Structure 1
Amino acid sequence: MKIATYNVNGINGRLPVLLQWLALAEPDILVLQELKAPQEKFPEKAIRDAGYDVIWHGQSRWNGVAMLSRIGEIHETRRGLPGDPNDEQSRYIEAAVGGVLVAGLYLPNGNPRPGPKYDFKLRWFDRLHDHVAGLVGLDAPVVIAGDFNVMPTDLDVYAPERWRDDALFAPEVKAAYQRLLEQGWTDAIRHLHPDETIYSFWKYWRRSFERNAGLRIDHLLLNAPATKRLKAAGVDTRPRG
């Protein structure tokens, strides 16, 4: 089973690239972030015509998450992260697919730091800790996948000295990610590639992609049963290329 995460940065504007990649990579389960489309504007027909079942949690102009499956029906278990009834941002979706529980998330960016957005990011992280603490010990495989907006270590960022004041690299944010691992989650990339320079995002200036001056902010975290089934993990750079 191949499970992937993809920040599509505008589902309708990038739909041709997404459909091309689906045909090329054939992920069994895919979680998307940053749909940037309201619920009614999601391109459901195009996704289903590509052979995928799909659920989505849209939001006008910002955020938005979705889950696709080509291996059977998606059984949604949660839409939205619990813990804050006033949080209306579309950042979390969870479902059972093919015997695996998959959570797709788009964690807040948090910039500028300090400020209200950074405080919201830390509160959102706390809510995530509380919720997934009840998932990590399940007997079934569980995968949390998405754009975490966190570079966990210096190895995960090009020129780390330039990012010390950024909300994606702040000590409190890196500590929050570490607390997830301490719950019993395994970082799939680092489990198989502990010392390699692997990035999942590159800014759109100064030939960052061509120079491989990137960040690793997209992660797949596995509970113990999922980790036992882990065979490979990596970043497919073809859509960005």
Structure 2
Amino acid sequence: MKIATYNVNGINGRLPVLLQWLKEAQPDIVCLQELKAPQERFPIEEINAAGYQAIWKGQKSWNGVAILTKDLEITEVQNTLPGDPEDVQSRYIEAIIDQMVICCLYLPNGNPYPGPKFDYKLSWIKRLKKRTNELISMELPAIIIGDFNIIPTALDAHHPERWEDNALYRIEVKKAYQELLKKGWLDSIRTLFPDDEIYTFWDYLYKSYDRNAGLRLDHILLSPYLVSRLQSGGVDRHVRGWEKTSDHAPVWIELQKEK
């Protein structure tokens, strides 16, 4: 089973890129972030025509998340991260697919640091940790997947010293990420490539893609009950080089069938 995440950075404006990648990569489950489209403008007809069904939480802003599936039944569990009823941003959607809990997230950027946006990021991470602890305690096969807006370690950034005062690399968010791993969540891409410079995002400015001056922001974390099924994974880096594409590239893993 192939499971992927992709920050599309505007689903309607970049729909041809998404459809081309879906046809090429043929993932079974896809989590999308930064739809930048209200609920009624999600391109469900085009997604269905490509062979996928979907659930989504749209928003006319920088937000919006969706989960796509191919030949698999999908049941929506919730479309907001529990813990703050006043939080109206579309950053989280959760579903049951093939007896797995799929949690698609678009974690807040948090910049400029310091400030209220960074405080919101920390509060959002706190709520996420509570939800992930619940999933661990329920002994569920679960995946936390999406754009975390976190650079976990120095290996995950080109010239990491330049990011010391950025909300993506602040010690508070790096510590929170490591705490997730200590609870039993597995960083699948880093596990598969422990010493490699693996990036998933390249800024549009300064020819960062051409220079491979990237960041690893998009992560796929597996609960302990899926770790043994991890088979392979990677980043479809070439998609970042396509015309009118997102500043992120799709990230994917392959899971073995349940024994």
TM-score, length-scaled by structure 2:
0.91
Where 1:214 maps in the other structure, the secondary structure is: coil
Where 1:127 maps in the other structure, the secondary structure is: helix
5+ residue gaps in structure 1?
Answer: none
Where 1:174 maps in the other structure, the secondary structure is: helix
1:182-231 CA-partner distances (Å, limit 9, x unpaired)? 11100001111111110000011221111111000000000112111000
- What letter is aligned with 1:223? S
Q: Is the contact made by 1:91 and 1:105 (CA closer than 8 Å) also made in structure 2?
A: yes
Question: Offset of 1:171 from its aligned partner?
Answer: 0.4
Question: Offset of 1:238 from its aligned partner?
Answer: 2.5
- What letter is aligned with 2:142? V
* 1:50 aligned residue: 50
* 2:253 aligned residue: none
Where 2:231 maps in the other structure, the secondary structure is: coil
Spell out structure 1 runs of 4+ moving beyond 4 A. 137-140
1:62-89 CA-partner distances (Å, limit 9, x unpaired)? 2000000003121111110011111000
Which of 1 and 2 has higher RCO (CA within 8 Å, sep 6+)?
2
1:17 lines up with 2:17 in the alignment? yes
* 2:87 aligned residue: 87
Aligned residues: 241
Where 1:37 maps in the other structure, the secondary structure is: coil
Question: Offset of 1:141 from its aligned partner?
Answer: 2.2
1:11-35 CA-partner distances (Å, limit 9, x unpaired)? 0000000000000000000000000
C-alpha distance in 2, partners of 1:208/1:125?
28
C-alpha distance in 1, partners of 2:58/2:151?
26
C-alpha distance in 1, partners of 2:156/2:116?
26
* 2:145 aligned residue: 145
1:136 lines up with 2:136 in the alignment? yes
* 1:116 aligned residue: 116
Q: Is the contact made by 1:32 and 1:104 (CA closer than 8 Å) also made in structure 2?
A: yes
Where 2:146 maps in the other structure, the secondary structure is: strand
1:60 lines up with 2:60 in the alignment? yes
C-alpha distance in 2, partners of 1:140/1:99?
9
* 2:194 aligned residue: 194
Where 1:201 maps in the other structure, the secondary structure is: coil
Question: Offset of 1:137 from its aligned partner?
Answer: 4.2
**Aligned pairs (5 A) from 1:161-172:** 161-172=161-172
Question: Offset of 1:138 from its aligned partner?
Answer: 4.2
CA RMSD of aligned residues (A): 0.9
Question: Offset of 1:140 from its aligned partner?
Answer: 4.2
TM-score, length-scaled by structure 1:
0.98
C-alpha distance in 2, partners of 1:110/1:61?
16
Where 1:75 maps in the other structure, the secondary structure is: strand
C-alpha distance in 2, partners of 1:135/1:73?
21
C-alpha distance in 2, partners of 1:111/1:71?
39
Where 2:32 maps in the other structure, the secondary structure is: strand
Q: Is the contact made by 1:6 and 1:32 (CA closer than 8 Å) also made in structure 2?
A: yes
C-alpha distance in 2, partners of 1:195/1:235?
15
Where 1:11 maps in the other structure, the secondary structure is: coil
Where 1:233 maps in the other structure, the secondary structure is: strand
1:124-178 CA-partner distances (Å, limit 9, x unpaired)? 0000000110112444421110000000000000001110000000000101111
